[in-house]
Amino acid sequence: MPLFGNSFSPKKTPPRKWASLSNLHLLDRSTREIELGLEYGTPTMNLAGQSLKFENGQWVSESGSFLGDRRELQRLRRRNQQLEEENNLLRLKVDILLDMLSETTAESHLMEKELEELKQHSRRKK
């Protein structure tokens, strides 16, 4: 007999008598869709006054003015590309400035250290 014993020993749960009380699983697919409302249709959304629907893995305009959408899309892509290039340039400039700052700081610390050594050296001579 163990010292502390096994104080927790749950009993087995009895098996279920009925798998489901609902008879919906006995209905055919079309009846289930009508009963349960499983016919969703295509997903749609409205962004900035533009109505879009999801077809074949892509969002497509419902208004049908694809030409205007394509021009706007090309303009936005060009603007996005310009902004990405500008962002990369600014990141490069920040990196260069941080390198320059760290170099100047290191030189400043070295000069301060040399100045302190010279001060101590001159005090010893006096």
pLDDT, tens digit (0-9, with 9 covering 90-100), for 33-86: 777 766 667 788 887 777 888 888 888 877 765 555 678 888 999 999 999 999
Query: Sorting pLDDT into bands at 50, 70 and 90, what band is 116?
Result: very high
In this predicted structure, what is the pLDDT of residue 92?
97
Are 41 and 72 in the same domain?
no
Distance CA 4, CA 56 (A): 64
Distance CA 52, CA 41 (A): 13
User: What Rg value do the Cα atoms of the chain yield, rounded?
Assistant: 37
Are 104 and 92 in the same domain?
yes
Determine phi and psi for 81, rounding to 5 degrees. -60, -45
What is the number of domains present in the chain?
2
Residue 97 lies in a domain: yes
Domain closes at, from 15, 40, 63: 63
Domain closes at, from 14, 37, 63: 63
In this predicted structure, what is the pLDDT of residue 98?
96
In this predicted structure, what is the pLDDT of residue 112?
96
In this predicted structure, what is the pLDDT of residue 25?
65
For 103, the domain range is: 64-125
In this predicted structure, what is the pLDDT of residue 91?
97
In this predicted structure, what is the pLDDT of residue 38?
64
| Closest to 35 (Cα-Cα) out of 20, 48, 24 | 24
Q: Is 126 helix (H, G, I), strand (E, B) or coil?
A: coil
Buried b (16+ CB within 10 A) or exposed e, 19-53: eeeeeeeeeeeeeeeeeeeeeeeeeeeeeeeeebe
pLDDT, tens digit (0-9, with 9 covering 90-100), for 5-25: 666 777 788 777 766 666 666
- Given a cut of 90, whether residue 96 has pLDDT beyond it is yes
In this predicted structure, what is the pLDDT of residue 13?
80
